[in-house]
């Protein structure tokens, strides 16, 4: 019985550790992609940015509708499905 309870505690610890590791990897990937996207956007001529502004707003609104608002990718928790 003791071994089973130790395994249960270890399982919870493992899941927690994996969740935090996954969260940190996701945060890092999000920040990297966000920096890259912003760098590309800033390199575009004003005329190109202005012509794509409406599409940018539509894309952001679709992302928010599908994924929820992710202002900076710095969530402190992760939900395991």
So where are the chain's domains? 2-67
pLDDT at position 81, please? 46
Query: Between 50 and 1, whose confidence is greater?
Result: 50
Q: What pTM was estimated for this model as a whole? A: 0.56
Mean pLDDT of the chain: 78
**What does the pLDDT read at residue 72?**
57
Burial 35-58 (b: 16+ CB within 10 A, else e): eeeeeeeeeeeeeeeeeeeeeeee
CA-CA distance, 7 to 29, in Å (whole number)?
32
């Amino acid at each position: 019985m003791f071994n089973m309870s130790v395994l249960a505690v270890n399982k919870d610890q493992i899941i927690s550790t994996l969740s935090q590791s996954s969260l940190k990897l996701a945060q890092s990937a999000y920040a990297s992609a966000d920096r890259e996207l912003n760098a590309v956007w800033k390199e575009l001529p004003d005329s190109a940015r202005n012509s794509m502004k409406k599409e940018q707003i539509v894309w952001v609104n679709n992302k928010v509708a599908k994924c929820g608002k992710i202002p900076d990718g710095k969530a402190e928790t992760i939900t395991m499905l």
